[in-house]
Amino acid sequence: MFEQQLFNGLTLGLIYALIAVGYTMVYGVIELINFAHGEVYMFGAFLCVTIINSLGVPLFPAMVLAMGLCALMGVSIDHIAYKPLRKAPRLAALITAIGVSIFLQNIAMIIWGSRPVPFTRSAVPAAFSEQAFALGSVSVSGLQLFIYLFTTAMMIGLTLIINKTKVGTAMRALAQNATAAALMGINVNRVIAFTFALGSSLGAAAGILVAMYYNTMSATMGYNAGVKAFAAAVLGGIGSVPGAMLGGVVLGVAETLGAGYVSSQYRDGLGYAVMIAVILLRPSGLLGKSVGQKA
């Protein structure tokens, strides 16, 4: 029982982590909590299913296409809504982010309706619903295994981009000192756009995985997932990418264990209780840097 819950929690946690890195990267470069990120996640799921249903594209290419479209969507959100507010007080951008979130939710309702929509079962490989392997009493489905492998590959890819490429180094430089980054000739807006593209495509992937996992999606699904992933990012230390990954996994596991051992009605509350406990003991989060010296 415990081991099974752990594996289920890991599934959920890795998905939270995938959304959380989008929050934390954007916060890192422009100090904005991008509340519209949950809606990009939701659009990812709907776009993927729409591409499958209306164009007859198979699952994996549809997934890649939806991720690409969402990357474009993230860049457009930044360009239209946030870029004009770059020098405005952060509160103005924050309120704008909430506005963009509501706007996108309503657009989704107009396009796809306000009722939950199932994921196209016929597009999902049969192996995903079968047991992939069993470890003692633990049973892991094909989809769960895919989620483990896919999210891990994405996280490794993201870590390599951030740490080993020029644009990744520029992202970190920008997060540490925007004026100095500009003085190096770094095109700050282009690096910010790149950050949005990366985070949004990962968020879209998470939306698709969740919709497949629970076999449902709705225009409002981004709200809850968005708040959870934001909590995960804070838990890990906002601005820290490894922190967001760890925070997501911790939150997912805590929530699933809580649901299994205490009561499934309190699952959200238990997840947040863990977050609050961590923040009380370590205000900067698990892997966050203590603020104060922004040299």
Q: Any bridge partners for residue 134, and if so which?
A: 139
Q: Compute the least distance from the CB of residue 294 to another protein, in Å.
A: 8
Phi, psi of 286 (to 5 degrees): -60, -50
For another protein, the binding residue among 77, 154, 186, 274 (CB under 8 A) is 186
For another protein, the binding residue among 106, 114, 131, 187 (CB under 8 A) is 187
Q: Pick the piece of the chain touching another protein (CB under 8 A) from 98-106, 118-126, 178-186, 278-286.
A: 178-186
Nearer to another protein among residue 86 and residue 172 (C-beta) = 172
Residue 131 interacts with another protein (CB under 8 A): yes or no: no
Pair 213, 257: CB distance under 8 Å: no
Q: What's the rounded Cα separation, in Å, for the pair 181 and 28?
A: 14
Taking the CA atoms of 112, 268, 8 and 152 in sequence, report the sign of the dihedral they define.
positive
For another protein, the binding residue among 180, 262, 276, 291 (CB under 8 A) is 180
Residue of 144, 151, 105 whose CA lies nearest to 248: 151
Total binding residues for another protein by CB under 8 A? 19
Q: Pick the piece of the chain touching another protein (CB under 8 A) from 58-66, 116-124, 182-190, 266-274.
A: 182-190
Nearer to another protein among residue 83 and residue 172 (C-beta) = 172
If you search the block for the tokens 């820290």, which residue do you land on? 240
Fill in the DSSP letter of residue 139: E
Residue 293 interacts with another protein (CB under 8 A): yes or no: yes
Element at 12 (helix H, strand E) = helix 2-30
Residue 185 interacts with another protein (CB under 8 A): yes or no: yes
Fill in the DSSP letter of residue 81: I
Q: How many CB atoms lie within 10 A of CB 218?
A: 20
Residue 181 interacts with another protein (CB under 8 A): yes or no: yes
Pair 175, 239: CB distance under 8 Å: yes
For another protein, the binding residue among 5, 53, 139, 169 (CB under 8 A) is 169
Q: Pick the piece of the chain touching another protein (CB under 8 A) from 93-101, 107-115, 126-134, 176-184.
A: 176-184
Nearer to another protein among residue 187 and residue 224 (C-beta) = 187
Q: What's the rounded Cα separation, in Å, for the pair 49 and 118?
A: 9
For another protein, the binding residue among 89, 179, 280, 292 (CB under 8 A) is 179
Residue of 79, 16, 3 whose CA lies nearest to 227: 16
Residue 91 interacts with another protein (CB under 8 A): yes or no: no
Binding residues for another protein, per CB under 8 A? 166, 169-170, 172-173, 176-177, 179-187, 289, 293, 295
